[in-house]
Amino acid sequence: MTEEDKELGQRPDLILNGVGSAAGGAYDKVLIDGVGKVEGSLNARLFKANGQIRVKGGLFTEGMEVNGIMSLGGPLRINTMKLDGILHIDGSVIGENCVLNGLMTAKGDCELEEFRGVGGFTIEGLLSAGHVDIRLEGAGQVHEIGVESLKVRQGDQSLWNRLLGGIIPKLKPMLTARVIEGDDLDLEYTNADVVRGNDVIIGEGCSVGLVEYRTGLTVHPGARIGKEVKTGD
């Protein structure tokens, strides 16, 4: 145990098992198993939850691990996050590292250094990240993307996935964005109005209105591009 841990250890733990609710506040560890409800904002060193969790305020934590369904009424500030399941955020996300396995929706902006995983996401604001590496199993919808590097792949295309994707649009593994800007862009199955970058790869199944590139552009024969422009020098 480091010196810092000891100091923070003076804060109490919040443990909810079964069905329970709490008011919120500052804790060292928050452990929720079952159906948990928190009425206010939470500030914790570690946040671990399994089951169905509802937090009405924001969540500020260093390490976050969620298995199950969680909804958050305010902003999310994290250092690292690991999500298995569904997370709904009524605010913005600011953090370092996010590993996604499931669905995430955020009402505001999403600013992360690293964002990778499998699943789908809806971000109503700007997704700004250092590195994004996503394998889409559901729909990815973002208003605007600004990144250093972005890699989008489609998940396994099994029969069931294709069938369900056809019936429920939310499950169709496509990335949709108005504007995608970044240094290295490697796209597949993406719908976008504008893509701007240094090195751009437009892969299979893409449909892009305008591509602006600085150094290189590779286009898959199965991709549709409205217009391509080389910018700079």
Partner 1 sequence: MEDDLISKKELLDLTGISYGQLYRWKRKQLIPEEWFIRKSTFTGQETFFPSMLIQARIRNILNMKDDLSLDELASRLSNTEGYSEIRLTKEAIIERNIVTDIAMSAYGPEVQSNEGLYSFEQLLHLYAADTLLARGEMSLDEGRLLLRTLEKHAGALTGKPCELYFVRKMGVALFLLAPSPAELYFDEGVRLVAKVTLGDLVEQLKGRLS
Q: Min. distance of Cβ 136 from partner 1 in angstroms?
A: 22
Q: What distance in Å separates the CA atoms of residue 7 and residue 167, rounded to the nearest whole number?
A: 53
Q: How far is the CB of 198 from partner 1 (least distance, A)?
A: 6
Q: Phi, psi at residue 109, to the nearest 5°?
A: -80, 165
User: Least distance (Å) from partner 1 to the CB of residue 131?
Assistant: 10
Taking the least distance from each CB to partner 1, the nearer of 114 and 204 is 114
CA dihedral 180, 181, 182, 184 (to 10 degrees): 50
Instruction: In whole angstroms, give the CA distance from residue 152 to residue 143.
Output: 16
Q: CB of residue 114 vs partner 1: minimum separation in angstroms?
A: 12
Please identify, using beta-carbon distances, which residue of 33 and 199 lies nearer to partner 1: 199
Interaction site with partner 1 (CB under 8 A) = 111, 113, 128-130, 146-149, 178-179, 181-184, 193-194, 196-198, 210, 231-232
The alpha carbon dihedral of 189, 195, 200, 202 has a sign of: positive
**Cβ atoms of residues 106 and 87 within 8 Å:** no
Q: Which is nearer to partner 1, 90 or 181 (CB)?
A: 181
Q: Is the CB of 66 or the CB of 132 nearer to partner 1?
A: 132
